[in-house]
Structure 1
Amino acid sequence: MKQPTALIADDEPLLRERLRSHLATLWPELRLIDDARNGAEALELFELHQPQVVFLDIHMPGMGGIEVARALARRAHLAFVTAYEQYAVQAFEHGAIDYLVKPIDPARLADTVQRLRRQLDGPLPGGAALDAMLDQLAGRLGQRAEPRRWLQWIKASVGTSVRLIPVEQVCYLKAEEKYTLVAWEEGEALIRKSIRELAEQLDPERFVQTHRSVIVNLAHVAEVVRGVNETAELRLRGRGEVLPVSRSYLHHFRQM
């Protein structure tokens, strides 16, 4: 039998370490790939390694666990990690996703491991039931969500001067070796912030990652052209560039 693999996505290093330690004891044959510190990194690592199981923290910087779960529908078995048992757990009662409450209880984790082992040969979670469960969970968590201040300006060197670029003028951002290219309405510039950092700081209602190396401003998208193997291309208003959309990020454009 193929060795099962799993990914842990959580922004708390101590929790990742403890979960790894408990899993090594409770599920020794499970191979844990690199940890993810946020939702965008979780999707990137999933695309790279294709693990069978993903342990997802619900609240992570930028893209949270619920949005990641939507992207991974029918592609992996999922287990949420939450600190909000008192009002979130009801959403899991009839769902195909398991949950763990922080701090991790080894006995509760042992139950989750047994269920995940049984599910490995079964159907992957997805469809209307999963969507309804995620909608219910998002609604419950939204009642307690803290307001967040998203990035409003990007500082970039342009020639001999430093520009403060309003984020609403940014068309897209693209990784360029050790830099990130910022393409905005008046030109282009290179900055030292990585795509991962920017994905955590930009408002996910306005900016979405379309590829491991690209973030796009939805307000500048003119057309989405579907491709093969659940991919797509984006055409931007007033620009000649065509930006890629990989299968991990195609869910952003299904309703467009």
Structure 2
Amino acid sequence: MSARSPQPATALIAEDEAPQRRALHEQLLQAWPGLEIVAVCEDGVSALEAATTHRPTVAFLDIRMPGVSGLDVARAVVEQGGLVVFTTAYDDYAVRAFDAGAVDYLLKPVQPARLEQAVARLRERLQERRAGADGPDLHALIDGLESRLRPQGERLIRWISASAGDSVRMFGIDEVLFFQAQEKYVRVVAGSGEGVIRTPLKDLLAGLDPDAFWQVHRGTVVRVQAIDRVSKNELGRHSLSLKGHAERLPVSGAFLHRFRGM
């Protein structure tokens, strides 16, 4: 019997700028004719959901996207055995991504010749995997990259000034249990009370320590130390409970990888 031919490679594209997204899509179709593009996403949350649903062979991810960073999406892709190429408009980010061991990086606007080079490297890596060769530990490499790019010092949020009825309450960031998007506002819940702010959730995430706060749903960011447990109901939906707080928070399937081994 003849050996079965390998399954065709599949790809996810995540880019928040429409012209860049369209250009990368078109260039990929030319550079890799046999590639099946299973999802083209305009933000990090939809990219994370697509990565979980489609389990792509490779993902082309902008490092900085609204909602969820390309690094978070990369973790989900790598968790499922995929490879990652980062795209960025910033030279320093590109070099750091490459140094951190990502398969490759593309500087925007993407040049066709550079994309062809990245595709050749990807295909070589895929052949090595089929032959049983071990690759680098991409989990550790992505963690290392995040530690170099995370907010530092004065860029981290220390205090939250939130409206509470007719007054303004000040919450130290260490008091906050979770943030929850609600229409035009974001709800800030602490052990001592709550309030609302107008800062979008995606902007808040840029100033939060990713080791201290996790996004667990499109509209929810929670303090890791406040999480008690994650459970699944009879409909297969997940939610988490907090220590010393009665409210339960939904957990999207796209973020369940955060709780492996918890």
Same fold (TM over 0.5): yes
Residues 14 and 208 from structure 1, CA distance in 2 versus in 1: closer, same or farther, beyond 3 angstroms?
A: same
Q: Which runs of 5+ in 2 are unaligned?
A: 1-6
Query: Can you list the C-alpha shifts for 1:202-254, whole angstroms capped at 9, x where unaligned?
Result: 21111101111211111222233466899643221111112222232223233
Out of 37, 41, 46, the position equivalent to 1:34 is: 41
Q: Which runs of 5+ in 1 are unaligned?
A: none
Instruction: Label 1:151 to 1:87 Cα distance change in 2 as closer, same or farther (>3 A).
Output: closer
Kept after mapping to 1: 8 A contact 2:97/2:105 = no
> Letter of the aligned partner of 1:106 in structure 2?
P
Contact 1:7-1:51 within 8 A present in 2 as well: no
Matched to 1:134, the amino acid is H
Q: For 2:206, what is the secondary structure of its paired residue? A: helix
Q: Does 1:177 align with 2:183?
A: yes
**Is contact 1:63-1:200 (8 Å) kept?**
no
In structure 1, the residue matched to 2:4 is: none
Say if 1:140 and 1:196 are closer, same or farther in 2 by CA, change over 3 A. Answer: closer
5 Å matches for 1:108-147? 108-113=114-119, 132-136=137-141, 138-139=143-144, 147=152
RCO comparison, higher one (Cα < 8 Å, 6+): 1
Partner residue in 1 for 2:243: 237
User: Which stretch shifts more, 232-241 or 217-226?
Assistant: 217-226
d(CA) in 2 for partners of 1:158, 1:87: 42
Counterpart AA for 2:220: V
C-alpha contact (below 8 Å) 1:170/1:184 kept by paired residues: yes
CA distance in 1, matches of 2:193, 2:149: 40
Given residue 14 of structure 2, which amino acid in structure 1 is its aligned partner? I
Query: CA separation in 1, counterparts of 2:95 and 2:122?
Result: 23
Q: Distance in 2 between matches of 1:239 and 1:251?
A: 24
Whole-Å separation in 2 of the counterparts to 1:196 and 1:154: 15
Q: What TM-score, normalized by structure 1, do the two folds share? A: 0.70
Once the two structures are superposed, what CA deviation does each residue of 1:155-212 show, in whole Å capped at 9, x if it has no partner?
Answer: 2211111222222111112222332222112222233233222222221111101111
- Partner-residue secondary structure (3-state), 1:204: coil
Q: Which residue of 2 aligns with 1:194?
A: 200
- Residue 22 of structure 1 is matched in structure 2 by 27
Residues 122-172 of structure 1: per-residue CA shift (max 9 Å, x gap):
x99xxx956x23314544775687735122222221111122222211111
Q: Distance in 1 between matches of 2:160 and 2:70?
A: 26
Percent identity, aligned pairs only, is 33
2 CA distance for matches of 1:228 and 1:110? 48
SS at match of 2:160: strand
CA separation of 1:201/1:14 partners in 2, compared to 1, >3 Å: closer, same or farther? farther
Provide the C-alpha distance between the structure 2 equivalents of 1:226 and 1:31, rounded to a whole number of angstroms: 28
The answer to whether the Cα contact below 8 Å between 1:9 and 1:54 also exists between their aligned partners in 2 is: no
Does 1:100 pair with 2:95? no
Q: CA RMSD in A?
A: 4.3
Return the letter of the residue paired with 2:170.
Answer: L
8 Å CA contact retained: 1:230, 1:247: no
TM-score, length-scaled by structure 2? 0.68
Q: Structure 1 pair 144/251, CA: closer, same or farther in 2 (3 Å)?
A: closer
The Cα shift of 1:32 comes to 5.8
Contact between 2:31 and 2:119, CA under 8 Å: does it hold in 1? yes
